[in-house]
Amino acid sequence: MGETAFVIEPGRHDIVMIRHFAAPREAVFRAVTDPELVPRWWGPHSLATRVDRMEIRPGGHWRYVNIDAEGREYAFRGVYHDVVAPERYVRTWQYEGTPEDVALETVTLAEADDGGTRYVAQSVHQSVEARDAVVRADAARGGRESMDRLAELLAALP
Amino acid sequence: MGETAFVIEPGRHDIVMIRHFAAPREAVFRAVTDPELVPRWWGPHSLATRVDRMEIRPGGHWRYVNIDAEGREYAFRGVYHDVVAPERYVRTWQYEGTPEDVALETVTLAEADDGGTRYVAQSVHQSVEARDAVVRADAARGGRESMDRLAELLAALP
The pLDDT tens digits for B64-110 are: 999 999 999 999 999 999 999 999 999 999 999 988 899 999 999 99
A10 pLDDT higher than 90:
yes
Contact: B106, A126; criterion CB under 8 Å = yes
Give the 3-state secondary structure of residue A83: strand
Q: How confident is the model at residue A158 (pLDDT cuts 50, 70, 90)?
A: confident
Q: How far apart are CA A29 and CA A132, in angstroms?
A: 29
Among B7, B13, B61, B129, the strongest candidate for a mutation testing the A interface, having the largest count of A CBs within 10 A, is B13
Interchain CB contact of B88 with A (< 8 Å): no
Q: How far apart are CA B90 and CA A20, in angstroms?
A: 33
Quote the pLDDT of residue A100. 85
Quote the pLDDT of residue B112. 96
Quote the pLDDT of residue B87. 97
Helices A139-156 and A128-136: angle between axes, nearest 10 degrees? 70
pTM score: 0.94
Backbone dihedral angles phi then psi of residue A56, each to the nearest 5 degrees: -80, 75
Residue in B14, B102, B124 closest to A90 by CB: B102
Percent of chain A with pLDDT over 70: 99
Quote the pLDDT of residue B56. 96
B1 pLDDT higher than 70:
no
Q: What is the mean pLDDT of residues B29-57?
A: 97
What is the CA angle B57-B62-B64, rounded to 5?
150
B116-146: pLDDT as tens digits: 999 999 999 999 999 999 999 888 899 999 9
| Short-list B73, B68, B64, CA closest to B32 | B64
Quote the pLDDT of residue A139. 83
Contact: A81, B60; criterion CB under 8 Å = no
Interchain CB contact of B60 with A (< 8 Å): yes
B2 pLDDT higher than 90:
no
Quote the pLDDT of residue A1. 56
Interchain CB contact of B108 with A (< 8 Å): no
Interchain CB contact of A11 with B (< 8 Å): yes
In B82-138, where does DSSP find H-type helix?
128-136
Give the 3-state secondary structure of residue A85: coil
Report ipTM for this prediction.
0.91
B155 CA: distance to closest CA in chain A (Å): 31
A71 CA: distance to closest CA in chain B (Å): 28
Residue in B61, B81, B124 closest to A78 by CB: B81
Quote the pLDDT of residue B89. 97
Interchain CB contact of A56 with B (< 8 Å): no
A96-149: pLDDT as tens digits: 998 889 999 999 999 999 999 999 999 999 999 999 999 998 888 999 999 999
Quote the pLDDT of residue B158. 81
- Note the Cα A105 to chain centre separation in Å: 8
Residue in A80, A122, A126 closest to B122 by CB: A126
Write the CB contacts of B73 (distance below 8 Å, at least 6 apart in sequence). Answer: B65, B66, B67
Q: How confident is the model at residue A59 (pLDDT cuts 50, 70, 90)?
A: very high
Say which amino acid occupies A74. Y
Of A40-49, A58-67, A135-144, B105-114, least confident by mean pLDDT is A135-144
